[in-house]
């Protein structure tokens, strides 16, 4: 390989040259890291569920969910605002030291809040200790968000990718070792703690020597400036945490520990399916903010591009998840988790809905409309709590799953309304509609194909691959066939 070719490859993966190349680079690094991390951790959770059983797995996920409820207090939306402000105006990077000091104070305050609250949620000393350990893990990860926000503003996601891969390798490696030789949920929590602390130290050192020297200052005026912008996002995140974690917390509080294990066995699969959405969102967010400062036409184009990608992934995930749920649960776990099948078939609808409204959420932040998004999200969070209180005591994990789907559908509807009323973005342009119709028809064909006994009875991996192949082939044939019509219709 010549030096010229080597430099070209290096620039492709490490430099920001054009919009498309930057999107490719960011998506590659985040996709690689997120894919490796989610896959390894998913393997770990499968072994946790199999080796420790639904009851112990339920205790662990209950503690993890409760600790996760408070994480928003350690960030207060600062990460999103930092990315937005730094990507729009590089001069503001000088304020980063003050944001670091603010994160330290917020993290310490959140830790105290979690420790105090743990005594009110459960009387089980083991679960209390799990909550304390996992709280420190979550806070260490949360502190890294402010570093990643800076890197995202510069569109240097490769450093975030390195950190994510390192953390996942450590937690999975130590976690599997513990499960096979010293199996207990308390020991497992220590592996999480070790991995999160090592990852935090690594990202701080990497940032200090490769990006910008770390320094702290205690300028309250900067704290006030950013908190005034971020508090609506913080409260929105708080509301999202409520209806993202409250189902597991409520089931655990009601004493449904085994059901919590079944529910989280299904939900882990569902949230694994939104890996593509997460990496697409992170890659597009800085580009959306940059396009916002350039022209309406460019922002609309970037938004349409993002929506098309989201639609392409959403519909086959929902379709395949519903049809193949029994085979997926059987493959991932064992017969003791068959109660998770219906929960998975219900919850998979959530994945599709989240794919649809995620671009709406980012656009509202880009237009500085996070205050309106907050009131909407707070309303849906309250709705979710009420639904869980009504449905969980009677229908257990299935009631929690239905409450989750209803909440996310309501979120989608309200976000759509905010986009139409308070931005100039047109969410249903012809190109987006044609993409949806193509994805819907392709998913319908895929549904009938993978439902055939000859395909359904294959090993789950081959059933999934065959379904993905059929869907992609039909979708791109339709896309090619309707391309000319789309261009003519859009001109008119």
In terms of Cα–Cα distance, which of 342, 319, 324 is closest to 401? 342
Is residue 106 within 8 Å of residue 76, measured between CB atoms?
yes
* 7 occurs within a structural domain: no
Round to whole Å and give the CA distance between 306 and 196: 31
Has residue 462 been placed in a domain? no
Residue whose tokens read 């999107």 = 23
Residue 284 lies in domain: 17-427
Strand blocks (E) in 303-418: none
Q: How far is CA 78 from the centre of its chain?
A: 17
- Whether residue 459 lies inside any domain: the answer is no
Alpha-carbon distance of 180 to 45, in angstroms, equals: 13
> Would residue 340 count as lying in a domain?
yes
Rounded Cα gap, residues 440 and 361, in angstroms: 23
The pTM of this model reads 0.75
Q: pLDDT 10s digit of each residue in the chain, 492 long?
A: 454 554 555 555 555 555 556 666 666 666 677 777 777 887 888 888 888 888 888 898 889 888 888 888 888 888 888 887 887 777 777 888 888 899 989 999 999 999 998 888 888 888 899 999 999 998 988 888 888 888 877 777 777 777 778 888 888 888 899 888 888 889 999 988 988 888 888 888 888 887 788 888 888 888 888 888 877 777 767 777 776 778 888 888 888 888 988 998 898 899 888 877 877 887 787 778 778 877 888 888 888 888 999 999 999 999 999 999 999 998 888 778 889 999 999 999 999 999 999 888 888 888 877 677 777 777 888 898 899 999 999 999 999 999 999 999 998 999 999 898 888 888 888 788 888 999 999 999 999 999 999 999 999 999 999 999 999 999 988 887 776 554 544 554
Q: Has residue 476 been placed in a domain? A: no
Residue at 483 is within a domain: no
The domain total for the chain is 1
Domain assignment present for 391: yes
User: Is there a domain that residue 261 lies in?
Assistant: yes
């Amino acid at each position: 390989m010549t030096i010229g070719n080597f430099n070209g490859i290096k620039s492709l993966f490490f430099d920001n040259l054009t919009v498309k190349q930057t999107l490719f680079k960011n998506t590659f690094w985040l996709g690689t890291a997120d894919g490796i991390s989610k896959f390894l951790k998913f393997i770990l959770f499968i072994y946790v569920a199999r080796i420790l059983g639904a009851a112990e797995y339920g205790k662990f996920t209950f503690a993890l969910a409760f600790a996760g409820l408070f994480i928003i207090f350690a960030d207060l939306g600062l990460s999103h605002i930092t990315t937005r402000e730094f990507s729009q105006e590089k001069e503001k990077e000088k304020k980063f030291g003050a944001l670091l000091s603010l994160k330290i104070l917020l993290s310490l305050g959140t830790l105290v809040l979690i420790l105090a609250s743990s005594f009110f949620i459960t009387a089980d000393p083991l679960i209390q200790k799990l909550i304390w350990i996992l709280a420190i893990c979550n806070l260490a990860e949360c502190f890294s968000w402010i570093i990643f926000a800076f890197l995202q503003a510069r569109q240097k996601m490769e450093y975030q990718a390195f950190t994510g891969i390192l953390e996942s390798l450590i937690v999975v490696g130590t976690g599997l070792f513990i499960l096979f030789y010293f199996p207990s949920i308390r020991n497992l929590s220590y592996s999480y703690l070790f991995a999160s602390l090592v990852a935090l130290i690594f990202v701080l050192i990497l940032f200090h020597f490769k990006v910008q020297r770390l320094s702290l200052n205690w300028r309250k005026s900067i704290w006030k400036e950013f908190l005034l912008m971020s508090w609506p996002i913080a409260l929105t995140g708080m509301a999202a945490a409520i209806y993202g974690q409250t189902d597991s917390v409520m089931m655990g509080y009601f004493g449904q520990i085994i059901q919590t294990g079944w529910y989280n066995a299904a939900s882990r699969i569902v949230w694994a399916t939104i890996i593509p959405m997460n990496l697409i969102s992170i890659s597009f967010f800085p580009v959306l903010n940059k396009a916002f400062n350039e022209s309406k036409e460019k922002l609309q184009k970037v938004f349409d591009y993002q929506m098309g990608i989201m639609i392409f992934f959403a519909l086959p995930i929902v379709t395949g998840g519903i049809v193949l749920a029994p085979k997926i649960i059987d493959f991932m776990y064992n017969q003791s988790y068959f109660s998770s099948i219906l929960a998975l078939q219900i919850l998979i609808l959530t994945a599709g809905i989240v794919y649809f409204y995620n671009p709406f959420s980012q656009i509202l932040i880009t237009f500085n409309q996070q205050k309106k998004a907050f009131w909407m999200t707070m309303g849906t969070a309250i709705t979710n709590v009420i639904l869980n209180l009504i449905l969980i005591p009677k229908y257990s994990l299935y009631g929690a799953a239905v409450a989750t789907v209803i909440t996310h559908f309501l979120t989608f509807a309200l976000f759509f309304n905010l986009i139409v009323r308070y931005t100039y973005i047109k969410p249903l342009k012809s190109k987006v509609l044609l993409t949806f119709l193509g994805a819907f028809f392709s998913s319908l064909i895929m549904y009938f194909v993978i439902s055939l006994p000859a395909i359904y009875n294959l090993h789950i991996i081959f059933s999934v691959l065959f379904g993905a192949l059929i869907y992609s082939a039909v979708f791109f044939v339709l896309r090619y066939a309707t391309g000319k019509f789309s261009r003519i219709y859009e001109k008119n």
